[in-house]
Amino acid sequence: MSVNRVPHHLGAPPAAGAWWLHPTSCFDGEQIRRDTALRIVDGRIEALAPAGEVGRDGLPVWRCESLACPAFVDLQVNGGGGVLFTQNPTPEALAAIADAHRLGGTGTWLPTLITSTPEVMERAVDAVLAVYGRCGVAGMHIEGPHIAPEYRGAHALELIRPFSDHTLGLLRRLRAHSVPVLLTLAPERLPDGVLARLVDMGVRVAIGHSGATEQQTRAALADGASLFTHLFNGMPPLQTKKVGMTGVALDSAAWCGVIADGYHVDDTMVRLAVRAKREPNTLFAVTDAMPTVHGPAHFELYGATIRVRDGRLIDARGSLAGVHIDMVGVLQRLVQRVELPLECALAMVTSIPARAAGIHPEHGCLRPNARADIALLDPDHLALNSLLIGGAHREPAGAHPLATP
């Protein structure tokens, strides 16, 4: 599914200082509030107050016919705007990807590096360290290379390898600078004791691209793994007589990301997963986006050309090879196709992923002291009207609208 961004010119809010944002309604990360305004001071939310208080202090007021919510939080972004981070692990690439995803309402994201050579991993870590805290980069997601070959998906088989001191050193560098890190791996391929050691370092370990048994999965959770990467994809299928990894994920309190594009996971399965999760509010959406999101209709991956066809990314064999959707498109699908309540869908693209990554309450919520990163949505169609980053209106340049060639 791909959704065109509907432009809606609201004028511009004050560039700096203190002012009021008065939307039609406001989702604070947990619930939708009516008759609520936000006082924004120097790029942060200072207060939420009844709309009747707006104007009494003499501050400027920006009124808009929009649903205000936190700018979207995406923990799995491979690329956008024609750029794939794994192929171009530079600060400039991160800025271009951020620019593209702002067209889809994403204000906070984790650049995702898929299975790569040690040299590429080093350059990617350098880039994240250089940009961290800017361009919406709130950490890093390293997906592979320590995964199961039989569940590798689009990852290059020849680059998959055992866990090593090299990876450990890169993780230490990131954590030494207090950069949040999400590491997707196959726990059955780790030496004993390594997973618990990673968790002790502050790394958030996600189980994914793995064929772990029920027992191995439960052991990994006991050692501190706290997430599952793209539920249902890159793991054994759910069975009725054998719990397996997917069953453990649903029956656990661990966070689970899900690709809600209608192709990687059927809409009904997403709806069932929301109801099935043992701990409520632990299922969140990711785009797992590739360079075609607000970019050209094709790109190269491990030497193969991947193209958009009928809203899907496919390789020369016609097989799925990535995701072509932005986060506002995900939100629209969760409400219109998966038929989730609006508050539930909004939480899945804002506050829940922020908690899963350990970056809440700085991101993913509208509350005092949080960053004023705010998406303004059309209340009827959930199109993105405008995006505020640090309280400033941001209109990304140079990216393509999200279309289906």
- Whether residues 52 and 87 share a domain: the answer is no
Asked if the structure places residue 299 within a domain, the reply is yes
Q: Is the dihedral of CA 261, 267, 271, 273 positive or negative?
A: negative
What pairing do the DSSP bridges indicate for beta strands 304-309 and 44-50?
unpaired
**Backbone angles phi and psi of 257, in degrees to 5:** -85, 155
Query: What CATH number is attached to the domain comprising 181?
Result: 3.20.20.140
Asked if the structure places residue 289 within a domain, the reply is yes
Asked if the structure places residue 124 within a domain, the reply is yes
Length of the chain equals 405
Model confidence pLDDT, tens digit, residues 179-206? 999 999 999 999 999 999 999 999 999 9
Cα Rg, the chain, nearest whole Å: 20
- Whether residues 277 and 156 share a domain: the answer is yes
Asked if the structure places residue 13 within a domain, the reply is no
C-alpha 187: how far from chain center: 22
Contacting residues for 215 by C-beta, under 8 A, at least 6 apart: none
Query: Is a pLDDT exceeding 80 seen at residue 2?
Result: no
C-alpha 83: how far from chain center: 17
Contacting residues for 103 by C-beta, under 8 A, at least 6 apart: 5, 294, 326, 384, 396, 399, 401, 402
- Whether residues 23 and 151 share a domain: the answer is no
Residue 401: predicted pLDDT: 59
Asked if the structure places residue 201 within a domain, the reply is yes
Catalytic residue among 288, 373, 378, 380: 288
- Whether residues 234 and 281 share a domain: the answer is yes
| d(C-alpha 350, C-alpha 338), whole Å | 17
Asked if the structure places residue 336 within a domain, the reply is yes
Query: Is a pLDDT exceeding 70 seen at residue 386?
Result: yes
Asked if the structure places residue 173 within a domain, the reply is yes
| d(C-alpha 394, C-alpha 396), whole Å | 6
- Whether residues 351 and 370 share a domain: the answer is no
Domain of residue 379: give its range.
18-70+365-393
| d(C-alpha 235, C-alpha 21), whole Å | 44
- Whether residues 48 and 113 share a domain: the answer is no
Asked if the structure places residue 27 within a domain, the reply is yes
Query: Is a pLDDT exceeding 70 seen at residue 313?
Result: yes
Burial of 134 (0-12, 13-18, 19+ CB in 10 A): exposed
- Whether residues 88 and 55 share a domain: the answer is no
The proportion of the chain whose per-residue pLDDT surpasses 70, expressed as a percent, equals: 94
Model confidence pLDDT, tens digit, residues 346-360? 999 999 999 999 999
- 288 part of the active site: yes
- Whether residues 268 and 280 share a domain: the answer is yes
| d(C-alpha 99, C-alpha 86), whole Å | 17
Domain count, the chain: 2
Contact 213, 130 (CB under 8 A): no
| d(C-alpha 136, C-alpha 139), whole Å | 9
Query: What CATH number is attached to the domain comprising 388?
Result: 2.30.40.10
